[in-house]
């Protein structure tokens, strides 16, 4: 009998249907898997064999051929264990019911239990969109699957229970979403509030602009001036993720296998702060079987690169394309994969190796050549992609100990939300969410400059030797500043403020 088992292969974040079938020959016992399987799928042989036996079924002493089709899609990872095992049980008539309306995914352990498997959310989205009525997944992953409506989700603990269900001996009920929904209403608590940060008004204003328009920011200052603290407040003034964004981001974490079993949903903006020893692959993604890197995990959120110059230069150079396009393309033997990577880059640095060259109270002990060498660690093209270049000076003692109350995150966030609303109206019907994502054509239609503003921008561009990219980025930032001020037209005061945040010495 040849019944086909449906499963799913992931190509980056997207899923594709795979069919699994098995047949037997009366030859020396052997299990052969064909159809471009990777090493992890090849290893499935041993797991499947033992899982079948240990679940009380018979593993035939024949030559078994398992075919994964279509043959031109590479099958990666252990999610095919379950469909392969089922195909063998079908071929040996140990399952004889109709199961072609279902999708099966899951890694098996040697005793036949199912293990948590990466990529269940995109698989479920795909299954639903392709018209499947049922999906069988490891019980550990059932919560993430329930984000998708309109498909019956069956949580499976082990193979013998699943076969009992398929053979209609002991039915497993699909998940009742009503029992789960409450788990997703998680209230967000932020690590640090803006009100914890004393003074540093300019940096706070810059962070507000960054949050409102999605602009990148770099903070420079002596040790202990509050750069890291300020960066950590950014999530608290950003708007909440929309439902669409929640699904988008959760899908990424599902593919990366980073969803928590208890709360398998990413409903707060990601804040990723990889260490400067991270490799290029860890940062941008890739590897033999490409996985999302930090920049993709930071999608729709913040990528915080603390101690920016400490990152190896070639690692930072990888950020060029994603900073421009909001996606990362990863080349591989079978064509290119793209992962989304639309994040706000927040970087922090000291101005020199000892950290005090910009400090008014403590003497810098670095030589001029050391300072130049340190500052050259970050390439011009990377700095050119950063809109807001901010000095964070040492905080004066009076400020630090003052009783004065600082503005809290909730109030700042309110202004950010209003600016975002204006942007949502502006970009309705397009894929753009924030001003920073505007391309030249949108800049042309949404950011007309009056004569004064244009004059100011032109002379600043010449005087500061700014690039064409900087020219456009200043206009985009001016748009955000006008949006924060609730003003329809960009004026020269908006442009002037935007210019002062650009890097001066290039």
Ligand X SMILES: Nc1ncnc2c1ncn2[C@@H]1O[C@H](COP(=O)(O)OP(=O)(O)OP(=O)(O)O)[C@@H](O)[C@H]1O
- Closest to ligand X by CB, 365 vs 489, is 365
Residue 50 is a binding residue for ligand X (CB under 6 A): no
By the 10 Å C-beta count (0-12 exposed, 13-18 middle, 19+ buried), 379 is classed as: middle
Restricting to residues 382-441, name those near ligand X by CB under 6 A. 395
CB 350, min distance to ligand X, A: 5
Residue 204 is a binding residue for ligand X (CB under 6 A): no
Whose CB is nearest to Mg ion? 228
- Closest to ligand X by CB, 59 vs 304, is 304
Residues in contact with Mg ion, shown as a per-residue x/- string from 222 to 261 under the rule CB under 5 A? ------x---------------------------------
- Closest to Mg ion by CB, 228 vs 338, is 228
- Closest to ligand X by CB, 103 vs 210, is 210
CB 294, min distance to ligand X, A: 19
**Among the candidate windows 174-182, 196-204, 335-343, 446-454, which touches ligand X by CB under 6 A?**
196-204
Largest Cα–Cα distance in the chain? 88
Whose CB is nearest to ligand X? 226
Q: Can you tell me the distance from the alpha carbon of 258 to that of 185, in angstroms, rounded to the nearest whole number?
A: 20
202 makes contact, choosing from ligand X, Mg ion, none, with CB < 5 to 8 Å by partner type, with none
**Among the candidate windows 107-115, 159-167, 227-235, 308-316, which touches ligand X by CB under 6 A?**
227-235
Angle (CA) 202 208 213, round 5°: 130
Select from 106, 124, 166, 116 the least CA-distant residue to 15. Answer: 124
Task: State how beta strands 344-349 and 5-11 pair.
Answer: unpaired
Residue 224 is a binding residue for ligand X (CB under 6 A): yes
Restricting to residues 171-190, name those near ligand X by CB under 6 A. none
Q: Helix, strand or coil for residue 260?
A: coil
CB 202, min distance to ligand X, A: 12
Q: Pick from 6, 7, 141, 200 the residue near ligand X by CB under 6 A.
A: 200
Task: State how beta strands 302-305 and 344-349 pair.
Answer: parallel
For 106, the token pair is 């899951």
Angle (CA) 477 469 486, round 5°: 15
Find out whether 16 and 73 touch, Cβ atoms under 8 Å. yes
Evaluate the CA torsion angle 196, 199, 200, 204 in order and state its sign.
positive
Rounded to a whole number, what is the distance in angstroms from the first to the last CA of the chain?
Answer: 72
274 makes contact, choosing from Mg ion, ligand X, none, with CB < 5 to 8 Å by partner type, with none
Select from 250, 325, 313 the least CA-distant residue to 283. Answer: 313
CB 375, min distance to Mg ion, A: 17
Select from 102, 104, 99 the least CA-distant residue to 79. Answer: 104
Find out whether 55 and 164 touch, Cβ atoms under 8 Å. no
226 makes contact, choosing from ligand X, Mg ion, none, with CB < 5 to 8 Å by partner type, with ligand X
Residue 198 is a binding residue for ligand X (CB under 6 A): yes
**Among the candidate windows 77-85, 165-173, 221-229, 338-346, which touches ligand X by CB under 6 A?**
221-229
Q: Can you tell me the distance from the alpha carbon of 291 to that of 285, in angstroms, rounded to the nearest whole number?
A: 6
- Closest to Mg ion by CB, 228 vs 375, is 228
Residue 350 is a binding residue for ligand X (CB under 6 A): yes
Q: Pick from 229, 247, 281, 496 the residue near ligand X by CB under 6 A.
A: 229
Count, residues near ligand X per rule CB under 6 A? 15
- Closest to ligand X by CB, 80 vs 356, is 356
Find out whether 339 and 252 touch, Cβ atoms under 8 Å. yes
Task: State how beta strands 291-292 and 102-104 pair.
Answer: unpaired
**Contacts of 201 by beta carbon, 8 Å cutoff, 6+ apart:** none
Footprint of Mg ion (CB under 5 A): 228
Footprint of ligand X (CB under 6 A): 197-200, 221, 223-229, 348, 350, 395
């Amino acid at each position: 009998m040849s019944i086909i088992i449906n499963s799913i292969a992931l190509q980056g974040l997207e899923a594709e249907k795979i069919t699994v079938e098995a047949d037997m020959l009366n030859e020396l016992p052997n299990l052969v898997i064909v159809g471009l399987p990777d090493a992890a799928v090849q290893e499935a042989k041993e797991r499947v064999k033992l899982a079948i036996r240990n679940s009380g079924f018979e593993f035939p002493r024949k030559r078994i051929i398992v075919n994964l089709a279509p043959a031109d899609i590479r099958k990666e990872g252990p999610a095919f264990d379950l469909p392969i095992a089922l195909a063998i049980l079908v071929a040996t008539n140990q399952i004889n019911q109709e199961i072609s309306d279902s999708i099966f995914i899951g890694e098996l352990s040697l005793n036949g239990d199912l293990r948590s498997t990466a990529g269940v959310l995109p698989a479920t989205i795909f299954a639903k969109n392709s018209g499947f009525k049922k999906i069988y997944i490891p019980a550990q992953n059932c919560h993430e699957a329930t984000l998708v409506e309109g498909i019956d989700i069956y949580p499976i603990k082990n193979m013998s229970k699943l076969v009992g269900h398929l053979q209609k001996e002991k039915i497993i009920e699909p998940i009742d979403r009503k029992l789960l929904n409450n788990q997703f209403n998680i209230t967000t608590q932020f690590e640090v509030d803006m009100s914890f940060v004393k003074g540093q008004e300019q940096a706070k204003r810059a962070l507000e602009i960054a949050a409102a328009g999605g602009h990148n920011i770099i903070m420079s200052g002596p040790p202990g001036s509050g750069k890291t603290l300020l960066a950590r407040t950014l999530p608290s003034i950003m708007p909440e993720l929309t439902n669409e964004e929640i699904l988008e981001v959760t899908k990424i974490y599902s593919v990366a296998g980073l969803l928590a079993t208890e709360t398998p949903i990413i409903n707060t903006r990601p804040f990723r702060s990889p260490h400067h020893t991270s490799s290029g692959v860890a940062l941008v993604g890739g590897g033999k079987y490409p996985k999302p890197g930090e920049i993709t995990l930071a999608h729709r959120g913040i990528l915080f690169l603390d101690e920016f110059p400490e990152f190896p230069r070639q690692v930072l150079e990888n950020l060029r394309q994603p900073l421009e396009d909001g996606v990362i393309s990863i080349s591989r033997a079978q064509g290119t994969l793209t992962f989304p990577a639309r994040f706000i880059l927040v970087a922090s640095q000291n101005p020199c190796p000892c950290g005090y060259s910009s400090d008014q109270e403590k003497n810098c002990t670095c030589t001029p050549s050391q300072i130049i060498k340190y500052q050259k660690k970050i390439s011009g093209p990377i700095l050119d992609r950063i809109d807001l270049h901010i000095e964070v000076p040492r905080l004066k003692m009076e400020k630090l100990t003052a009783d004065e109350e600082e503005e809290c995150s909730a109030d700042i966030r309110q202004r950010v939300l209003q600016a975002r609303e204006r942007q949502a109206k502006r970009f309705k019907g397009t894929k753009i969410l924030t001003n920073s994502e505007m391309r030249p054509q949108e800049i042309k239609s949404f950011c007309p400059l009056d004569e004064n503003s244009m004059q100011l921008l032109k002379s600043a561009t010449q005087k500061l030797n700014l690039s064409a990219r900087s020219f456009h980025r200043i206009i985009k930032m001016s748009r955000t500043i006008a949006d924060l001020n609730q003003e329809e037209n960009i004026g020269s005061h908006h442009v002037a403020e935007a210019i002062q945040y650009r890097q001066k010495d290039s």
